[in-house]
A and B are shown apart, each in its own frame.
Chain A
Amino acid sequence: MSWDWQVFCEDTMERVAVQGCDITYLDWMLSAWGWTVSVSLLSLLLALLLGALIGTLRTLPDRPLVVKLGTAWVELFRNIPLLVQIFLWYHVVPSMFPAMKAVPGFVLVVLALGFFTSARIAEQVRSGIETLPRGQRYAGMAMGFTTFQTYRYVLLPMAFRIIVPPLTSEAMNIFKNSSVAFAVSVAELTMFAMQAQEETSRGIEVYLGVTTLYIISAFAINRIMAFIEKRARVPGFIVAGGGH
């Protein structure tokens, strides 16, 4: 997958880049922002899906093997520094499995960042589920629900509401962590900052611009999560500011 953000510079008839729309540092910074947002959102999606799955598996009753697998996943991905994981994906995995050589760096970063964050989200999901009073699970069983139904209709809806605040932090963290992608040649904001300040010798301006974009991205995610938290709130259950 090689994206070309310069498509916006092409004219619509001949699809050639228009004069005067030659790539400026501003264009480059916005394109870099696009990469940062793409890496972050895709990783976040992967992390949420995997994290929810692994976290749930870790709380299953009477399935010691599955729980152990989940624990192994979490400990593996949260005990290795993120940058090291990125290099493992980029340099080590392809040398063990030659088929992985064809996979672009962008996908590898999404995998690395997604798996790393999935371990953290899994822990939050598990703690969310374990926070619920034991009676909730019993209630599901008393209704004659299967294990799947108990999780789907009773445990997970409440657990997810509890863990929205730490999930917000994770979602914001993923934006900041996406800066490691520069190490494997993804043209995102941090790489732009390092490169542009070298070329222009205007480091302060460049870093201020990049910082602003990081703040905007992280704050946007923060607001979206706050909105979700508000909309999904169940009256009488963990009311914000109200207590129990």
Chain B
Amino acid sequence: MKKQVLAFSIAILAASGAFAQANNTLAKIKASGSVTLGVRESSGLGYTLGNGKYVGFHTEMGERVLADIQKQLGLAKLDIKYQPVTSQNRIPLVTNGTVDLECGSTTNNAARQKDVAFAVTTYVEEVRIAVKANSGIQSIKDLNGKSVATTTGTTSVQTLRKHERAGGIDFKEVYGKDHADSFLLLETGRADAFVMDGSILAGNISKSKNPADFKIVGEVLSVEPIACMLRKDDPAFKKAVDDSIKRQIADGSLAKLYDRWFMQPIPPTNTKVGLPLSEATKAAWANPNDKPMEDYAKK
């Protein structure tokens, strides 16, 4: 009986503790000695190697941010828990406290800023067009009357729709259920082009049977700032994350990290993605900011 009372009161204490720290992630990390990092399982910026091992440019950057926070808090040991997230559940998991910091491939936009906060932009994604090298397609205008593949549940679908309505061009959209499926549509000729984030296109091309058969062409259809996501109204935690990222930019370690994940052979297949640092990402690093996607479109 006594034990149960004890357990119960501890549970109550823990619950009320969690309540008090709802928007003080730093205090929560300090008190618990652990932190939960939201990661992606199959994205250009973060993926899994299986067996609970998560790697990638943003995953590793997130780990370095947490290491800096550990130093700042003076913790001898910080236990990082990895929580894989999907496009569907990442925002609820951050707002309900399951995930403290999500570093995957989340676009910072105005709609999401109502629910969550974003760290400074660390990667600027450009939506591009991948085609077969021999197709003769050079820009979005050449897609008139062609079929264009993209992946269900991505912002590229919306981008494509906007361009179609604004540009007076007409193409037939085909939707793959994931990126690999969309790429297969392009590979088998069911689609003439695959419109998607540049890093994903480059990744899929590098992993294809014959990468020389494909190329990325045309104008940038949309610019999307990708950033780590954290809970809203927690300025101390946001400052800690931003400071760490700014330090990584300033001392060149972020550029080295980028080079390692995009220009060097990476696991599991040891192939190169081969996507040089874009001008837009360089600009974001030169002036660290957390502007949403909408501000990029205005330019």
Which A residues form the contact surface with B (CB < 8 A)?
A: 2, 91, 94-95, 101, 105, 182-183, 185, 187, 191, 194-195, 197-201, 203
Contacts and interface: CB of A to CB of B under 8 A. Distances in A.
Contact of B112 (A91, A94, A195, A201): A201
Contacts of A95: 188
Contact of A195 (B115, B157, B181, B189): B157
B155 A185 contact: no
B276 to A, nearest CB: 28
Given A182-B152, A201-B111, A191 B158 contact: no
Contact of B188 (A2, A91, A195, A201): A91
Nearest to B153: A194
A204 B190 CA distance: 33
B175 A182 contact: yes
Given A91-B188, A101-B190, A200-B111, A195 B176 contact: no
B270 interface: no
A219 to B, nearest CB: 26
B91 A199 contact: no
A191 B152 contact: yes
Given A183-B177, A201-B91, A203-B88, A91 B155 contact: no
B67 interface: no
A91 B157 contact: no
A66 B115 CA distance: 63
Contacts of A203: 88, 92
Contact of B184 (A91, A197, A199, A201): A91
A16 B110 CA distance: 32
A187 B174 CA distance: 9
Given A91-B188, A182-B175, A195 B153 contact: yes
B154 A198 contact: yes
Nearest to B116: A201
Interface residues of B, number: 24
Interface in B130-161: 152-155, 157-158
B152 A105 contact: no
Contacts of B112: 201
Nearest to B107: A198
A30 B152 CA distance: 18
Nearest to A187: B175
Given A91-B188, A197-B88, 5 more contacts: A95-B188, A101-B189, A101-B190, A187-B175, A194-B152
B9 interface: no
Contacts of B282: none
A187 B157 CA distance: 12
Interface in B61-94: 87-88, 91-92
Contacts of B111: 200-201
A183 B155 CA distance: 17
19 contacts: A94-B188, A94-B190, A95-B188, A101-B189, A101-B190, A183-B181, A185-B173, A185-B174, A191-B175, A194-B88, A194-B152, A194-B153, A195-B157, A197-B153, A198-B87, A198-B153, A198-B155, A200-B111, A201-B115
B207 interface: no
Nearest to B112: A201
B172 interface: yes
Contacts of B189: 101
Contacts of A197: 88, 153
Interface string B180-202: 01001000111000000000000
Among A2, A185, A194, A197, which residue has the most Cβ atoms of chain B within 10 A? A185
A185 B184 contact: no
A185 B190 CA distance: 11
Contact of A105 (B87, B154, B158, B174): B174
A191 B176 CA distance: 10
A195 to B, nearest CB: 6
